[in-house]
Each structure stands twice: as C-alpha cells, then as structure tokens.
Structure 1
Amino acid sequence: MDERVHEHAAVLVDWSARIEAGDDVVIDVDEAAHDLGVAVARKLGERGANVVTTYGSEEIERARLKGHEEGDTGGDEAEPRGFDEDPDHELALFEAADAYLRLGGGRNTTATADVPGEIRQAYARSRRGIREARMETDWVSTVHPTRSLAQQAGMAYEEYREFVYDAVLRDWEALADEMAILKELLDDGETVRIRSEGDGRHRTDLTLSIAGRTAVNSAASVAYDSHNLPSGEVFTAPASADGGIFFDVPMTIEGTRVRNVRLHLEDGEVSDFEAETGEDALASILEIDAGARRVGELGIGMNRGIDRVTDSILFDEKMGGTVHLALGRAYDACLPAGESGNDSAIHTDLIADVSAASTIAIDGEIIQRDGTFRWESGFEDDRRE
C-alpha cells in the first residue's frame, strides 16, 4: 500500500475530524476506497474510537432508485414506489454518531445518470432529516484516488494519484493562517463584487450582500467549521445577489455533464438561466424546492495545490483563481445567531474561473485581480475598482 494512504488517513482522523478516544464514528467507504478505509480504520482503532462501517456504491444506489421507479404500489398498473420519510433505523445511526467520515471513490462516476430527475428529487426530499442529523456530527468528506476519478479528470491514474496527494497532504496550519486574512475581510465587509470581462453571456458582473455574515476559513478541519479534505476555500452565505455571472468550469450534476452556465440573479434568486450543455439537468435541480433557486453560498478558492479542473467538486471549487456559488442550502455557521438562512434539499455548486481579466472587490476595494490576492507577489498596487 502506498505510504501516502496512511498519511491521508492520519490527516483525516487527526487534523480534519479531530477524533478522540470513545467517539462513535460512522465510516462510509465507497467501493474503490477500500485501501483508505483500511488505513482509516487502523487509525481509529489506535485512537480508541468506536467504529461502524457502511458500504457506499453508486451502482447500488442506482439499483435501489431504479427499483423505486419500476416498483408496484399495488394498483392496476405499476407505479413508482414512494420513499419513506427518514427511515428510523438510518436516522438513529446518525443521531447517535459523534462523527461521520465519507470516503469516496467509486467505479463509475456516472452510475446514476439514467435515474429520472423526479425520482432523484423525491429521494432527496425524503432524506432531509437524515441529512440534517448527519451534518450535526463532526462530518468530513474525502476521496481516495481511483481509476474512475482519474478517467473523469482526463488524467493517467499515476498522474491523478500525485494530484490528489498534492491537494490533500498540505501544510494546513500555514494555509489556515493565509485564509484567515480573507475571512477577516469578508467578515468586516458589506458587499462583494465579482467582475470578469467578456461579451454578452460570457461577461460577469455580480454584487452580493454579505453584511452581518460570518465567513468560514475552510481549512479542512471541523475545528474551522470545515468538512472537506482537501479544502482550501473561504466561504460565506450572501443575504442577496444581483447581476449576472458566467460559470465556465464544466462539471457533472446528477450524472450529466454541464458546461458554460449563465445565471441572472435578482435579490438572491435565479430569475433566468441557460447552459450550453446539460441545461435540463440544471433545470431539474432548480425545481427540487423553493430554496433551490436561491444562492446559499459564495466561496473563493485558495488551494494552490489544486492546479487543474478535474470534474470533481471536492477539488475544483477549492482551486486558486476560482469562485463558486452554491444554489440551495446555506450553512448555519455563516449566519447571525437566531437567523435562518436559505433552506433546501440541495447544495449545488457552480464554478467560475477568475484567473484572467477578472477582479473580486469587497466594499469597492479590489482584493484579487486575475487570480492573485493583494497579499501575494505580483498583485498590482491599484486596489480601487
């Protein structure tokens, strides 16, 4: 086994999830993440945690959802079976857990591509309580480098493995200190304006209200309210957003490739949208519930170890020189005490490259130009818009 698998497990258990002796931990191990699962289990055993392991598989998920699609409710004609709301046995597992560790790495990244959108939507709605219980734990999601993910990224397996470990095995304390600079600027700010040059639909000019919000220094640890490994972003929950934004980083949504998305927003809600490819998949997401059309997150990528697009949101949204918006659920950590943010069954990210002909400004002061922050070498002195 590659020694870096054990290093990955140590970062996950010690830095990211902060597991302690006696913690009740659920590990969800994807079908091709076996080696990482073994390394994590060993580390948890050394820590003295109590472990329950579940098996994650997109192919099993597809089979179950297709079964509901083809099920028989007992009438004269076969009709799709409904989904029970938050089954007690699964809900209890997460309600009793201290931590949940998701180890991704399947055999087929588009295994559920042929599951109808209405089935996906019904399933997502039926698991709202389970999702909330899981997110109440110290949860962390990561991935093991697999051949399917390498193929999706358009990379050789050995090349992809190097990429993953460059992104995961970082000096997280040093990166946390750098990201704290941006967090402070966002915490003190009232508006963020993102601008990118371009003609027509390719142009971005979006203003977001962030007054009273708390940004999260997402340094790959629950101690920072951060739940992804790798991470390397600073994000907040805008109260509103107005203008247009063009997302030029391709990604897969619900098994469908989506490219070149244009959103127009009014008061934080999508009023118009289009996509060069995958527009139906985007439309399906927006129809899941009322909150799916609203912006739940603004994130700014800062992980320089991620240097290329891989069609994996876990990596791509953290890449330096990008920003992303999430449609749907807002994270409570960003909200003032007592305030409820946008609520939805989804949290779907869309990513824009701002590494060229672009600026990010907070209250009229440019804090990033062409992908370079003002505290980094190469930033131009002019800070005003």
Structure 2
Amino acid sequence: MDQRVREHAQVLVDWSARIGAGDDVVLSVAEDAHELGVAVAEELGERGANVVTTYGSDEISRAFLRGHDGDFEADPAHELALYENADSVLRLGGGRNTTATTDVPSDKRQAYSKSRTGVREARMDTDWVSTVHPTRSLAQQAGMAYEEYQDFVYDAILRDWESLANEMARMKDVLDDAAEVRIVKEREDQPPTDLTLAVDGRTAVNSAASVDYDSHNLPSGEVFTAPYATEGEVFFDVPMTINAQELRDVKLTFEDGEVVDFEAGQNEDELAAILDTDAGARRLGELGIGMNRGIDRFTDNILFDEKMGDTIHLAVGRAYDACLPEGEAGNDSAVHVDMITDMSEDSRIEVDGEVVQRNGTFRWEDGFEA
C-alpha cells in the first residue's frame, strides 16, 4: 500500500474527524476507494471506535432510482436510525464512473433528494467528513494521468493544516466584521460579474478540514459564510459536473435575494431542474473563498476545485447552520449546489468597499495591488 494512503487515513481520523475510543462511526466506502477504506478501518480499530461500514456506489444508486416508480418513502426509519445513532460519518468517495447516474431523470433525482431531508439532516448533525480516494475514473475526468492525479490529490490533502488554518483566520476575521461583500469581474471574453451580498450577523467558517473548525471536507482550504439579500449578476466560468451533467458558462441574475433569470451554455435543463427543486433553491446558501494553494488546477471535482486559491464559489440552496446566529434559520432547501468562478484576472473582492483580493491575490500576500 502506498504510504500516502495511510497518511491520508491518519489525517482523516485524527485531524479531520477527531475520532476517539468508543465513538460510533459510519464508514461509507465507494466502489474504488477500497484501499483507503482498509487504511481508515485500521486507524479506527486502533483508536477503539465502533464501526458500521456501508457501500457507496453510484451504479447501485442508478439501478435503484431507475427501477423505482418515484414515489419514495420519506425518511425510512432504518436509514434515519443509522445516522441518529452515529457520532461520526466518514464518506470515502472514489467511484468507477463519474457519470453513472446521467440517465436518471432529473425529476426522480430531485424527488429522492426531497424524500431524504430528515436523513440528510441527521447525517449532518454528526461529525461527518467527506474525502476522496484518487481513482482512474477521477483522473480521467480531470484530464490527467493516474500517477499525476495521485500526486495532485495528496498535495492537496497532506498539508500542514494548522498553518493553513492560521492563514485563513485572516479572511474569517474580515468576513466576521463585514456587512457587505461585492464580487466584480470585468473580463472582455465573458459576461460581467457584479454581485453584492449581505453578510452582517453571520459567522464565517475557517474551513481547515477539521470538525473542530466546523469543517467537513478533506481536502478543504476555504472560508465560507451564509449570505443573503443578494443583488446583481454572476458568471461561472469553471465547468462543473453536477448530477452527472456537465454545466458550462452559467449565468445567474439575482433580485431581492432570488434568482430571477438564468442561462447555461450547456445542460441548461439540468440547471433549471436544480433551481426548481424548491423555493430555497433559488437563493444562495453559501459564499466560499478558496485559499488552498496546494490545489493548482481545475479537475471537475467540486471537493478540490472550490478550494483553489484563485476562486470563489457560490452555492444555491441550503445554508450551513454554523454560519448563522443561534436560533436563526437560514436558507432551507433539499439541494446545495456549488458553482465556481475564476478570480485570477480582471477581478476583485471588496468587503465594505475595501479590496481584500485582486486578481486572486489577497492583500496580505506578496504581489497584492490595492
């Protein structure tokens, strides 16, 4: 076994999930993540955790959804109980086919998602962490040789997370004190972006790949918050596969916090299906600012691409409770769909009128131009 697989497992169990003796853990292992699953199971055993293992397969999901009549039972008791009784849920991604569910009708996918709202909430109430094992299918999706992709993945995951957390704390402090964020892009080769988002009263999350930071992805490396009162337009120039459909050149227009117009250069019907899921799907649940410099290219995988240092991402749908004042309900939806825009040129992020990032460079980094 590649030593980096063992190191990945150690980071996941110790830094990310903070597993201790007696913790009840659900370990979900994708089809081609077996090797990482073995390494994680060994680490969990050494720490005295209690483990239930499930098999996460897009091909199995496809078979079930295509065979079902679409009248899904809401929150089946046996599935709900699994997560209600878990301390942690570790999801190891790495399937065989990144487009395995592409021929499942969108309305059936959306119906299934809605039927699992309670299950999803129970899972997210645990100390859950999602990661991914580098597979050949993911390497192919990224347009990379397998060995090259392995190096890319481990460069993003096997980091000095404590040091990165200290750096990202600067951006968290900026957002915690902010009332309004403005995102501007003025590239000649694409539609303009000029978007304002209210963030006052919110708490930004320093997403340093650990539940102790209210962070649930490995790798991570972003600072995110829950915006509201969104106004303006935004163009997403980074292609992204969502529900096994590749979306390209997405443009959203917001008025009074809601998407009032949209278009996509590819698979616009899928974008429409996402936005029509429920009322909350037309509002933003997240503004995320990528800060992981170990991710240096786009790979058509949201787990990596949204953390890249020269990007921001916005998610339509559900807001995360960690960003909200106690007792306040944020945007609620059965979906949380991230879309990314590249901020590396002809762009800026303003916070309360002050530029904090220009052309992908933060004001505390070398090369920043005010």
TM-score where L is the length of structure 2 = 0.99
Structure 2 match to 1:40? 40
Structure 1 match to 2:303? 314
**Structural mapping, 1:109-120, within 5 Å:** 109-120=98-109
Structure 1 match to 2:204? 215
Q: 1:295 aligns with which of 281, 284, 291?
A: 284
What are the Cα deviations for residues 310-331 of structure 1, in whole angstroms up to 9, with x where unaligned? 0000000000110010000000
Paired with 1:354 and 1:302, the residues of 2 have a C-alpha distance of: 12
Q: Which amino acid counterpart does residue 13 of structure 1 have in structure 2?
A: V
Q: Secondary structure at the match of 1:36?
A: helix
Q: Which amino acid counterpart does residue 281 of structure 1 have in structure 2?
A: E
Q: Secondary structure at the match of 1:138?
A: coil
Q: 2:325 aligns with which of 325, 336, 344?
A: 336
What are the Cα deviations for residues 244-263 of structure 1, in whole angstroms up to 9, with x where unaligned? 11100000111111101111
Q: 2:114 aligns with which of 125, 129, 147?
A: 125
How much has 1:337 moved relative to structure 2? 1.4
Structure 2 match to 1:23? 23
Q: Which amino acid counterpart does residue 145 of structure 1 have in structure 2?
A: P
Q: Quick check: 1:104–1:142 contact (8 Å CA) kept in 2? A: yes
Q: Which amino acid counterpart does residue 371 of structure 1 have in structure 2?
A: G
Question: Does residue 272 of structure 2 align to residue 283 of structure 1?
Answer: yes
Question: Does residue 177 of structure 2 align to residue 183 of structure 1?
Answer: no
**28-37 vs 189-198, which deviates more?**
189-198
Q: Secondary structure at the match of 2:169?
A: helix
Paired with 2:203 and 2:176, the residues of 1 have a C-alpha distance of: 5
**Structural mapping, 1:86-101, within 5 Å:** 86-101=75-90
Q: Which amino acid counterpart does residue 114 of structure 2 have in structure 1?
A: R
How much has 1:81 moved relative to structure 2? 4.3
Q: Secondary structure at the match of 2:152?
A: helix
Paired with 1:160 and 1:52, the residues of 2 have a C-alpha distance of: 30
Judged with a 3 Å threshold, the aligned counterparts in structure 2 of structure 1 residues 248 and 196 are, in CA distance, closer, same or farther, namely: same
The answer for unaligned runs of 5 or more in structure 2 is none
**Structural mapping, 1:1-385, within 5 Å:** 1-68=1-68, 80-199=69-188, 202-380=191-369, 382=370
Paired with 2:200 and 2:63, the residues of 1 have a C-alpha distance of: 45
Paired with 1:11 and 1:84, the residues of 2 have a C-alpha distance of: 37
Q: Secondary structure at the match of 1:173?
A: helix
How much has 1:336 moved relative to structure 2? 1.1
Q: Quick check: 1:201–1:262 contact (8 Å CA) kept in 2? A: no
Paired with 1:346 and 1:307, the residues of 2 have a C-alpha distance of: 28
Paired with 1:32 and 1:200, the residues of 2 have a C-alpha distance of: 39
Paired with 1:327 and 1:254, the residues of 2 have a C-alpha distance of: 14
Paired with 2:318 and 2:98, the residues of 1 have a C-alpha distance of: 24
How much has 1:338 moved relative to structure 2? 1.2
What are the Cα deviations for residues 193-251 of structure 1, in whole angstroms up to 9, with x where unaligned? 11011359621100110011100000000000000000000000012210011100000
Paired with 1:126 and 1:189, the residues of 2 have a C-alpha distance of: 37
Paired with 1:65 and 1:38, the residues of 2 have a C-alpha distance of: 29
Judged with a 3 Å threshold, the aligned counterparts in structure 2 of structure 1 residues 303 and 9 are, in CA distance, closer, same or farther, namely: same
TM-score where L is the length of structure 1 = 0.95
Paired with 1:200 and 1:301, the residues of 2 have a C-alpha distance of: 23
The answer for unaligned runs of 5 or more in structure 1 is 69-79
Paired with 1:207 and 1:241, the residues of 2 have a C-alpha distance of: 6
